Each structure stands twice: as structure tokens, then as C-alpha cells.
Amino acid sequence: MGEKKVEWLVSLVFFIVGGIFFILSVSMIFYGINFRNNAVARVAIITDIDSHGDSDSNTQHTVYVKYKVDGLEYNESLGYYSTGMSVGQEIPIYYKPESPNRIMADSSILLWLIFFILGLILLSVAFIITFIKIKKKRRHKELMASGRKIYADITEITKNFSYTVNGRSPFLIVCKWVDPSTGLFYFFRSENIWFNPQPILEEKGIKSLAVYIDRESPKKYAVSLEEVEKFLGSV
């Protein structure tokens, strides 16, 4: 799979995982609130904490508690674990009057609230990544269509080490242009390139690239890679 597709896949994964966390947590929060509004509070005692490994070698904990309702003693799984719990510890619970064996820990809603916040964070990251990509792509397209076309000399080919996909960092082509009207130097960086353009530039003798700059400010620009990409299949 190409790195550009992987970039979009990362955003999609954030959307899916964040959406799952968000939907499940909202459902469980409403369930928990409804449960507590129709439940009775009770203090239970932790009788056992069963620790066991799962298929991923992670340690899971099942907490068992006992409590009395109308003189009858119940021993049930709490469905919740927190670091610091210990056998003999008293813990607040809620139970349904019509089904005393159905219980909920006092901190369960807090746990789902954490998942809710995590889901929001993941969704926000996905939205931000997607928004930035779409905005940059739209701006690039607009500049290519209506910007002032100039040619800038290639000065350097480097890697964008601040960005990594699948353990790889993309290449960048840096170009320099002198504005003849002001004598000011401008340096332009291409978009991320997921192949090494050096062989193409050397073999085809490409010394400069077309750059489309904003007619009001050269600081807004789009480096055209058409001159490089049209030879991509020949090297």
C-alpha cells in the first residue's frame, strides 16, 4: 500500500476507533445513569480478586463482592477493577430492587466517562488531520490554477524527518527564487514525496521547478512536481 493511502488510512482508523469509543461510552453512560436512578445504594465487601492473563498476555482482574439484601447474602462479580482494590475493602455499589444480583460499581460511570473523553480526543484528531489535508490540497489546487507561475532553482533534496509513515520519512525538494522586483530571496518546499527524486533530477537534467505563487504574497505557493512525476516510470 502506498504511503499516501496509508496517511488517509490513519485518519480513517482514528475515525473508526474514536467513533466506537464515543458511541459505546455514551450508551454505557446513559445506561449507568438510568441504572443508578432506579437502583438502591449498598456497601459491599470485596471477597476475592481473581487475576489472570488474557490472549495478549495482559493481566485481567475480576473482583467479587458480597452484600446483603433483606437478610440474604449475595456474592457477585463487580464488573469493575481499580488499582488499589484489596480483599476485605468496603466498596459502594448499586443494585436493582427487583434483581438484587444485578449490581454496578459506584465508579463505573467514571470509567465510561474516561472512554467518552478518549473517543472525543480520537475523533478530534481525525477531524483535524482530515481538515488540514483537505485544506492544503484545496489551496494547492487553487494556486496551481490561478497563481503566478515562476521557475525556482533546485537547491536541495532533503527528508522530512518530522513526518513518518510505516517507518519511512518522505523527501522534499527545496527551491530558491529571487524576486526581480524586490531582490528578495524566497525558498520553497515541495509537498511530501514518497520516492527519491534525485535519480530523475540528475538523469533528466532538471535544475528548476515551476512554482505557483499567490499574486499578493509569494509566501503562499505551490511547487509543481509534474516535471518530476512524468518521468517516474522511466527510472
Concatenating the DSSP letter of every residue in 147-163 gives SEEEEEEEEEEEE-TT-
Topology (CATH level 3) of domain 3-114:
OB fold (Dihydrolipoamide Acetyltransferase, E2P) (2.40.50)
Q: How do the pLDDT tens digits run along the chain, 235 residues long? A: 455 666 677 778 888 888 888 888 888 888 888 888 888 999 999 999 998 776 666 788 889 999 999 989 999 998 888 888 899 999 989 998 999 999 988 777 777 888 888 888 988 988 888 888 889 889 999 999 999 999 999 999 999 998 887 788 899 999 999 999 899 999 999 998 988 999 999 999 999 999 999 998 999 999 999 989 887 754 4
Domain boundaries along the sequence of the chain: 3-114, 147-234
Q: Which three cell numbers stand for residue 39?
A: 437502583
Residues 6+ apart with CB under 8 A from 147: 212, 213, 214, 215, 221, 222
- In this prediction the pTM is 0.60
